[in-house]
Structure 1
C-alpha cells in the first residue's frame, strides 16, 4: 500500500471509476483534489491535507452505481464504502471519521448534511468549483447528455429556446447551465473558494455573452 493517506485513497478509488461517465470520472476526482489542496494553501486555518486529498479521490466512487440505479445516494454509499476500505488499510479511526464526514457532506442536495470541518468545506467548494469556469461548462454539458441518455429523452436544449418559431420541446435551455453554476457558487463555504469562484464566473459571463452573439439571441 502507498504511504500517505492521499496516495492510498487514490489507489483504492481508481477501480470504482472504471464505469464512470466523463462528468464524474477519475479526472474529475483528480481536479477536485488539486483545487481543494490549492484552497487549503490559502485557508487561514490548519488543514489535514491528507484527509482533503483522500476525500477528493473517494467522493464520487458511488456515482457509476447511482447512475444505473443500483444505489440511491452516492454520498452515503461512498462514506460507508470508504470507511470499510480505510479501516482495512489500518488508517486511524480519527482520520477515517474525518474522511467519512467529508463524503457525507459534499453534495449540494437538500438532504445532505452541512460540512462542519474545514476539510469538508474545502472538499465541498472544490467539487462545486469543478462545475464553473471553462472545465465546468464542459462538465455541465456532459451532465445534460448523461441525463438525456439515462432517461432516453432529451434533457435540455443547448440554445435559447425562446428563439424557436413554432412548437418546440418544453425543456430547459442554455440558461440551465448558468443557473447550475450560479447555484453552486452561491453555496460555497470558504473565502478562498469564493474568490476563485468569482474569477471563474467572470469567464462564464463572457462565454454566455459570446454564446448569445453566436446564436443571434437577444441578451436578457
Structure 2
C-alpha cells in the first residue's frame, strides 16, 4: 500500500500522517504494525471526540508510539516507550514543531506503555494510553495474544491444566495464561470515562473468547 493511500486513512491528519508513516512501525511485528497504529488512531479519535484535548498532538503520538520496536520477551522491553519518545522528538523537531508540542507528544508516548508503568499526566497522554490498551482487549486483543505467542514460540495452553488450577501461571509458555496475567487486568486501568466505557464491552468479549476456547478444548 502506498504512503498517500495510508495517509488518507488518518483523516483529518493526512499531511501529518504522510510525514510520520515512514517512521511509524519499526520491525516486522504484526501486532505493532501499521494496522495496529490505524486501529489505535481510530480509538484515539473516538475518545478525543468526547474528551477534548489537542487532537494534533494526540495524532502525532499515536503515529509514533511504536516507532522503536522491542520484543515482548526482551529484557529491555520496559525501555521501549522511552526510546520511542526520544526518536519521535527528533523526528518532530526536524519537522519544525514547537518545543512544548514535542514535549507533550513525547510524554504521551513515554507513558502509554503497560511495561513502562509510568502515570500519564496530560489528557493527550491518557487518551493515547486508553486507545492503545483498547487494542489489547476484545477480539483483536485475543488475536494479538495468540499471534505474539506464536511469534515467541509459546504453546497455546497447558493440555493437563489449561486454567492453571494447580500450577503457577506462565504466559511465556502458554498463550491463554496471558489473559489472566495481564489482559483481564487492563479494563480496570483506563484513564478517561470514554475509554472506560469502550473497555467494558471489549473486556466482556475477551472473557467470551476464553470461555469458548476452554469449552472447545
- Name the TM tier (shorter chain): 0.7 to 0.9
What is the distance in 2 between the residues matched to 1:104 and 1:134? 26
Q: Can you list the C-alpha shifts for 1:185-209, whole angstroms capped at 9, x where unaligned?
A: 2221111111111111122222222
Give the equivalent residue in structure 1 for 2:27: 19
In the alignment, what sits opposite 1:162? 161
Count of paired positions: 198
Matching residue of 2:45 = 37
- Aligned partners of 1:6 and 1:186: how far apart in 2? 33
Equivalence for 2:108: 102
Q: Distance in 2 between matches of 1:38 and 1:22?
A: 23
Using a 3 Å threshold, how does the CA distance of structure 1 residues 173 and 81 change in structure 2: closer, same or farther?
closer
Matched, 1:212 2:217: no
CA distance, structure 1, for counterparts of residue 105 and residue 195 of structure 2: 20
Cα distance, 1:77 vs structure 2:
1.1
Higher radius of gyration, 1 or 2: 1
Q: 3-state SS of the aligned residue for 2:31?
A: helix
Whether the aligned pair in 1 keeps the contact of 2:23 and 2:64 (CA below 8 Å) is: no
Q: 1:33 to 1:158 in 2, by over 3 A?
A: same
Instruction: Report matched runs for 1:169-184 at 5 Å.
Output: 171-172=173-174, 174-184=176-186
Partner of 1:151: none
Is the 1:102–1:123 Cα contact (8 Å) retained in structure 2? yes
Counterpart residue number, 2:64: 58
Structure 1 residues without counterparts, runs of 5 or longer = 149-154, 164-169, 216-220
Partners of 1:177 and 1:55 in 2: CA distance = 27
Q: Distance in 2 between matches of 1:41 and 1:136?
A: 23
User: In the alignment, is residue 114 of structure 1 matched against residue 119 of structure 2?
Assistant: yes
Instruction: Flag the 1:124–1:10 CA change in 2: closer, same or farther, 3 A.
Output: farther
Name the residue aligned to 1:167.
none
Decide whether aligned partners of structure 1 residues 121 and 106 sit closer, same or farther in structure 2, where only a CA change above 3 A counts.
same
Q: Does 1:130 align with 2:135?
A: yes
Is residue 135–residue 141 contact of structure 2 (8 Å, CA) maintained in 1?
Answer: yes
- 2:150 aligned partner: 145
Separation (CA, whole Å) in 2 of partners of 1:208 and 1:194: 21
**1:54 & 1:6 partners in 2: Cα distance?**
11
State how far apart, in whole Å, the 2-side matches of 1:134 and 1:120 are. 24
Q: Structure 2 residue aligned with 1:86, among 92, 104, 129?
A: 92
How does the TM-score come out when normalised to structure 1?
A: 0.79
User: TM-score w.r.t. structure 2 length?
Assistant: 0.80
